[in-house]
Structure 1
Amino acid sequence: MTWHRVRSAVAIGAVMVLLAWFWSRGEQFLAANGPTFDEPVHLAAGYSYWTTGSFRLNPEHPPLLKLLWAAPLVFGDRPAYPYDVAAATRDDHWHIGTALLFGSGRAPRALLDPARRVNLTLGCCVALVAGWWAYRYWGSRLAGIAACAFATADPNLLALSCVLTTDVGLTLFGLLACYLLWEYAAAPSRGLLIATGVALGLALGAKFSALAIGAGLGAAGFVYALRGGRLALPGTPTGAPPRRAAIEFAFRLGLIALVTLAATYGFVHFDQWGRGLKFQLTRADHGDGMMYLNGELSRTGWYHYFLVLLPLKVPLGLMVAAALGAGALRRSCASGRWEFLLIPPMVFFALASYSRVDLGVRVVLPVVPFLYTLGAGLACAGCCRCAGRGLLAVCLVWSFVSAVRADPHPIAYFNEIAGGPRGGLRYVADSNVDWGQGLPQLKDYLASHGIGAVYLSYFGTDRPEAYGIRFQPLPTYGRVGAPGGETIPADAPRHVLVVSANNLLGVYLNDRDTFKWLRAREPAAVLGGCIYVFDLTGDEDAVRRVRALSAE
């Protein structure tokens, strides 16, 4: 075996080890975290598409990923679809999702975990594409391994790969489209043209914000042409007018993407894509939720939200490597077709900021994998290659430590600048910290401390009673159906109050100051970064306030 093959085998082995590590941490996540806010809806919508043949449910997101998530149910146990609930609620997806996940007679995890593993597979593919692009761009196996390592060590990628959210699918197909166009610019071929168009179409079938990826690709192609590059259909004569050749190429690419997108709707339901896009463009008219930044609430968001958020949520090892890798990028600017690596994420970030849909780091997740590839450039730092590789090793170890510290609750991950989950809550909330995933931790905490019943203000659509949690309900947000619960006697030996992080800040409550009096109080425990436990035993004034809230 030649030395070249040995190095290739070692590189492949290293990548496989990294992916196995990523998957094992994903399994830890599945065991430790309950359903997040939107997961019952997304799973039920996908299952309804397969079962009813209609795409009416949850039209505000395209169907592709929901179809993939529901496939294990369709080709597995096939639980009964709640037609009675759908008829009684006129296809209310919240009630249908709750009925499917909690009323099918099966354990919720038995339905949810197979779907989550589909998304975890997509997360592994993001790491593979980022690593392969780094290998191809920098011409280094070490760079490819490094990019894959940054990806598998990113708590944000892991968290969003383990829940049913459309962001990882968009990230994968968007990154793939950018990479394939980068390859096409160097060596146009019919196969690459079709593959790029299909990847773009799949991105549009994953999430409507893929339009921003399309805009980024267009901007990258424009800058590439200004710098003397050429984008044209395969076989186009070199003497053909560049502008006309580029227009023909863009038309053919868009047509392939459009056909692919229509296929995700089964062609006959393609009109639903336009309806869903209209919904997203008029979110404010539908009373969309509240957003939180630096102690302020807003229904319209902030243009600078993601500028504040990313430095708090992205691992510092990755940020340092990406910043230093930008220096190595200068060496390849003349011939590396850098436009397709830099411009699409910049355009996506700018449009996401302009949209002011400030719901969490997941909105700009498609930007992050470009940092993996950029940071891997430290492996090829020109005349300072030894120093660059030393810095790369430091950044990778730093990222691995961040990953281990975040497990098995990476949703609430914040880096050292923020000071961890409790520090991060000073700046941002919502799905950055609390997505309703914390009830399994609460169940274990109550059992280990011998606490019978609690006063509970839970944010999310999971069911406390499904875990055997006894509770007296307090003002909350997200509960579907009857409030449930019981009344704790006034003379009970223990008075324990449990509040979700979003409710503690009052993000979605009618009165944002409902729990203001608790914010300066030291909790007895913070579970998974998102569940705050306060022991009020012996504090008669606090107990009276809580019981008064329960009576409202």
Structure 2
Amino acid sequence: MSEQSRHTEQRTRNCDWLKLLLIAVCVVQITFLVVSAYRSSPVRDEFGHFYAGLQYWKHRDIETFNVNPPLIRAIGTLPAYLLWNDVPIIDSERRTGVGEQERTSADHVARGRFEFDDGHQLFARYPEEFQRHLFLGRLLVGSFAVMGTLTLFYWGSICFGKPGGLLAATLWAFQPEIIAHGSLITNDVPVAASMLIACFLFAAWCRTPTWARSIAGGFSLGFATLCKFTALLLWPFFLVFAIYVVVGNRHGRSTVILQSLLAVAVSLGTIAVPYRFEGVGKPIGEVCFLTDQPIGTTWEQTPPRYRERWFANLPMPVPQEFVVGMDRQQYDFETGLGGYAAGTLSGTGWWWFYLYAMLVKLPTGTWLAMTASAVCIYMQSNRKLAVIAKIDVALVGVIAFAMLQITAYKSGFAQQHRYIFPFYPFAFFLTASALRIVDWTSWYAKLTWTGAGLTVVACIGATPHWLGFFNLPSGGSRDGYKHLFNDATDWGQDCYLVRQWLEQHPEIRPVNIVSINGFNSQTPESMGLPDHVTISQDAQRWTVMSKHDLVGAKGIQYIHREPTYEIGVSHFVYEN
């Protein structure tokens, strides 16, 4: 056998092993997603998403929860719509007796958000049906996390070889936070995966513009935008890169321009479909915005914001509710919500919040891999760097940098670390780029792969408490509450675990549960709690304290005490 034949056979054997490893990564990731989806009780935001999704299917309601497009909640509640016979819809009994005009006003005031309370009421009445259909919906939404894994492997393999693709896919698939939030009916992991897919297809069009790729790229961009408004970040950068491609194609410039226009049309059409094209083409000067509506007035009395502007007669290319939802989201950012980070409570946020969240939440192995890759790229000569200086890497680098900038700018929220998730797949893609310019025997490659291995170990070690994971330098999951709260510690995922623990410890009575994210909107009866267990009542002999509440006003008397027991990684038990 010749030397060339032996090399060819060796490469084939290596590719087979890498494919088997990818299959193993996907199987473990899917298993973890299913376990997380099954064991987690409804988390805080899922009540609103689930209720709004049912409203969408039952009544074609595109207004409820309009701070996010309707796609993900529609996917997550499709099993409930199809399988839950005579699915009930709560009509907000606290508003019974309110006139229709006043109810319309209340529904459209920017501060009137009722979907969460209505979702809690639906769960209180039908807890078993709610959880069963929630689980089925979670499985559908969880497929986005797997698509992110496959896309990273395929795109990384094209740019950096199959080892690079496997590295990027592994770092994504074994992130504890991606497992935890990817198995919930929320928007953050789906938009991260969809933005990655849109960038991959767009980069493919940039390399070789074709009509099929322009249609696929346009659809993927519209689909990503329907996952969450965060994907709007892609639009201006895609425009800049498209102009670059047009300028570079001297002989087929007109064809490339037409392909670009087709992609834009497909994207806008995709966005309009779930909204049933309502308001598309309406003059911009006739659009009313929620933040302009005085409290106590009707929707019809709200003055259009742009009726006196020069562009007032221009037709709107997207549905009206899409624009109104963005306006309401912007209102929330400008108003701000109470935040907590690094042991400090604040009425608003900090520009460094998401950087700090990544510092304490990403596994130590992930940081090792990213650092080794960054140092490797920095230390190489310009000649070697030219190997990876292609349009794919440039696009990903720009998007990743823009994500960090926009999250620093939008600092009104400092309690939802999950908003940084769309940065992750791009960061892991760039991490894999080092494997293109060094061989397997270099220290850079060894450190990068070691980091990936440690990430896998950390994810497996966190089972099944992925949502409350913190890395070891930050104190681990037990002390993570000292750094972040809300969706980083206890988001309501362990209600059933707390109930099971109390059933197994009948000596812990009477006991009061303090858990605003998990139990506060429910009753002991709706949660199926044992006797002599109360929720947010007077202090009892025992107190089950959520780590989210431990850093707030309710936990001030407990925060410096040593707990008697710990439930999972989200609750402490104190004897009073």
TM range (shorter): 0.7 to 0.9
Cα distance, 1:375 vs structure 2:
2.6
Equivalent residue, structure 1, for 2:572: 532
Instruction: Report 1:332-351 matches (<5 A).
Output: 332-335=387-390, 337-351=392-406
CA–CA distance in structure 2, aligned partners of residues 216 and 527 of structure 1: 46
What is the TM-score when the length of structure 1 is the normalising length?
Answer: 0.83
Q: Does 2:187 correspond to 1:132?
A: no
**Contact 1:325 1:376 survives alignment (8 Å):** yes
Instruction: Report 1:418-497 matches (<5 A).
Output: 418-450=474-506, 451-462=508-519, 463=522, 464-465=524-525, 466-470=527-531, 471-474=533-536, 495-497=541-543
From the superposition, tell whether residues 319 and 182 of structure 1 become closer, same or farther in structure 2 (CA, over 3 Å). farther
Aligned length: 501
Aligned residue type for 1:497: T
**Contact 2:439 2:445 survives alignment (8 Å):** no
Cα distance, 1:6 vs structure 2:
5.3
Equivalent residue, structure 2, for 1:21: 28
**Contact 2:77 2:134 survives alignment (8 Å):** no
Equivalent residue, structure 2, for 1:517: 557
Equivalent residue, structure 2, for 1:186: 207
Gaps spanning 5+ residues in structure 1: where? Answer: 476-486, 507-511, 537-552
Q: Does 2:274 correspond to 1:264?
A: yes
Cα-to-partner distance string for 1:418-444 (whole Å, 9 max, x where unaligned): 111233222221211121222122122
CA–CA distance in structure 2, aligned partners of residues 334 and 28 of structure 1: 40
**Contact 1:499 1:533 survives alignment (8 Å):** yes
Cα distance, 1:144 vs structure 2:
1.7
Aligned residue type for 1:307: L
Cα-to-partner distance string for 1:427-463 (whole Å, 9 max, x where unaligned): 2212111212221221222222222431121122554
Cα distance, 1:233 vs structure 2:
9.6
From the superposition, tell whether residues 61 and 515 of structure 1 become closer, same or farther in structure 2 (CA, over 3 Å). same
SS of the residue 2:512 aligns to: strand
**Contact 2:144 2:194 survives alignment (8 Å):** no
**Contact 2:369 2:449 survives alignment (8 Å):** no
Cα-to-partner distance string for 1:358-417 (whole Å, 9 max, x where unaligned): 233210100011232223335434256444443233112211111012111111111122
**Contact 1:101 1:111 survives alignment (8 Å):** no
Equivalent residue, structure 2, for 1:545: none
Q: Does 2:19 correspond to 1:12?
A: yes
* Identical columns (%): 21
Selected match of 1:231 from 242, 245, 248: 245
Equivalent residue, structure 2, for 1:68: 75
Cα distance, 1:84 vs structure 2:
4.3
Selected match of 2:546 from 500, 508, 512: 500
From the superposition, tell whether residues 324 and 192 of structure 1 become closer, same or farther in structure 2 (CA, over 3 Å). farther
Q: Does 2:188 correspond to 1:174?
A: no
Equivalent residue, structure 2, for 1:291: 339
Cα-to-partner distance string for 1:51-80 (whole Å, 9 max, x where unaligned): 112212211111011111111112223452
From the superposition, tell whether residues 218 and 407 of structure 1 become closer, same or farther in structure 2 (CA, over 3 Å). farther
Equivalent residue, structure 1, for 2:371: 323
SS of the residue 2:209 aligns to: coil
From the superposition, tell whether residues 427 and 105 of structure 1 become closer, same or farther in structure 2 (CA, over 3 Å). closer
CA–CA distance in structure 2, aligned partners of residues 249 and 424 of structure 1: 49
Aligned residue type for 2:164: A
Cα-to-partner distance string for 1:25-45 (whole Å, 9 max, x where unaligned): 122223432111010210111
**Contact 2:376 2:444 survives alignment (8 Å):** no
Cα-to-partner distance string for 1:123-169 (whole Å, 9 max, x where unaligned): 1111111111111110x222222222212211011111011110011
Cα distance, 1:239 vs structure 2:
8.0
**Contact 1:453 1:469 survives alignment (8 Å):** no
Instruction: Report 1:403-422 matches (<5 A).
Output: 403-422=459-478
CA–CA distance in structure 2, aligned partners of residues 532 and 215 of structure 1: 47
CA–CA distance in structure 2, aligned partners of residues 349 and 259 of structure 1: 29
Aligned residue type for 2:133: L
Cα-to-partner distance string for 1:476-513 (whole Å, 9 max, x where unaligned): xxxxxxxxxxx78x8xxxx111111222111xxxxx3x
CA–CA distance in structure 2, aligned partners of residues 520 and 93 of structure 1: 36
**Contact 2:388 2:433 survives alignment (8 Å):** no
SS of the residue 2:557 aligns to: helix
**Contact 1:526 1:533 survives alignment (8 Å):** yes
Gaps spanning 5+ residues in structure 2: where? Answer: 1-7, 108-113, 280-318, 378-384
CA–CA distance in structure 2, aligned partners of residues 276 and 336 of structure 1: 33
**Contact 1:179 1:340 survives alignment (8 Å):** no
SS of the residue 2:77 aligns to: helix
Over the aligned positions, Cα root-mean-square deviation in angstroms equals 2.9
Aligned residue type for 1:50: W
**Contact 2:187 2:227 survives alignment (8 Å):** yes
> After the TM superposition, which segments of 4 or more aligned residues of structure 1 sit over 6 Å from their partners?
244-249
Cα distance, 1:290 vs structure 2:
1.3
From the superposition, tell whether residues 75 and 5 of structure 1 become closer, same or farther in structure 2 (CA, over 3 Å). farther
Selected match of 1:307 from 343, 349, 355: 355
Cα distance, 1:171 vs structure 2:
0.5
**Contact 1:169 1:206 survives alignment (8 Å):** yes
Selected match of 1:353 from 401, 408, 430: 408
CA–CA distance in structure 1, aligned partners of residues 64 and 213 of structure 2: 35
Cα distance, 1:48 vs structure 2:
1.3
Cα-to-partner distance string for 1:497-535 (whole Å, 9 max, x where unaligned): 1111222111xxxxx3x4312111001223232212112
